[in-house]
Amino acid sequence: MSSELRLAELREKYLFKPGRLDRDRVDEVERRFEELVSEFKRQKIRLRPDEGRLMELAFYTAALALDVAHSQLRRIYAEVTAVRDAAREAAEGRGDWEEVVARLGRARVTLAYATGRADSRSFERLHEVLDEAMRRATGIVEGDAEDGVKLRAVEALHFLMESIIAFHRFLGAR
């Protein structure tokens, strides 16, 4: 796929109707999702907002999470936003990075709880992507990187979550 997603074409190609994947295309969507997750876990897709494949990963994650309630995604998004806000404060010297790590931990717990309650394959896929992104962001924040690098990692996590929510709505999810 090119670095530029053709969203309307993808929506037309994969959806039976808004909020429902075409049954004949589910295997294709799952296959592409698995390829992207594999690349992400092997760090061939970097946790950076300017990484085009990160947005593609968000699209396919949202496509496979159409049965996940939008409110569940918003709850996780609120936690990720709190992480981003704490990171901004730490980068400006008004907070510390230990608070960011603590908030990342809380976000992972919220994600795990929501995954356990949902008991669906769709949420497990969402968990797989977001947990990997949160683990990576935590590793960067706990490391010796400069504040700007730490902030960019957290901003990328926020961008990923925001993209998933946007694509989820774009695809007509409930």
Q: Tens place of pLDDT for every residue, the chain, 174 residues?
A: 444 667 778 888 888 777 788 888 889 999 999 999 999 999 998 888 888 889 999 999 999 998 899 999 999 999 999 999 999 999 999 999 999 999 999 999 999 999 988 877 888 999 999 999 999 999 999 999 999 999 999 999 999 999 999 999 998 887
Which pLDDT belongs to residue 112? 93
Q: Is residue 141 within 8 Å of 154, Cβ to Cβ? A: yes
Which pLDDT belongs to residue 93? 95
pTM of the model as a whole: 0.90
Which pLDDT belongs to residue 4? 61
Which pLDDT belongs to residue 5? 66
Question: Strands, E, within 110-161: which ranges?
Answer: none
Q: Is residue 19 within 8 Å of 66, Cβ to Cβ? A: yes
Buried/exposed code over 25-37 (b: 16+ C-beta within 10 A; e: otherwise): eeeebbebbeebb
Which pLDDT belongs to residue 20? 82
Residue (of 163, 45, 147, 40) closest to 100 by Cα position: 147
Which pLDDT belongs to residue 126? 94
Which pLDDT belongs to residue 2? 43
- Burial tier of 92 (Cβ tally within 10 Å: 0-12, 13-18, 19+): exposed
User: What amino acid is encoded at 34 in this protein?
Assistant: E
